[in-house]
Homo-oligomer: A and B are copies of this chain.
Amino acid sequence: MTSLEAAGAPLRDARIVAGPVPGDSGAGIALASHGAVASFLGIVRDHSKGRAVAGLRYECYRPMAEKVLVQLIAETAGRFDPGMAAAVAHGTGEMVPGQAALSIHVASAHRAAAFDACRHLIERIKHDLPVWKLERYADGTQAWLKGS
Residues in A lying within 8 Å of B, measured CB to CB: 3, 23-27, 30, 32-47, 97-98, 100, 103, 107, 109, 111, 114-115, 118-119, 122
A27 to B98, CA, bound (A): 8
Instruction: Give the chain B neighbours of A109 by CB distance below 8 A.
Output: 45
Chain A, interface SS category:
mixed
Q: Are B38 and A43 in contact (CB under 8 A)?
A: no
A39 to B26, CA, bound (A): 10
A53 to B8, CA, bound (A): 18
Instruction: Give the chain B neighbours of A47 by CB distance below 8 A.
Output: 3, 32-33
Q: Are B32 and A46 in contact (CB under 8 A)?
A: yes
A24 to B98, CA, bound (A): 16
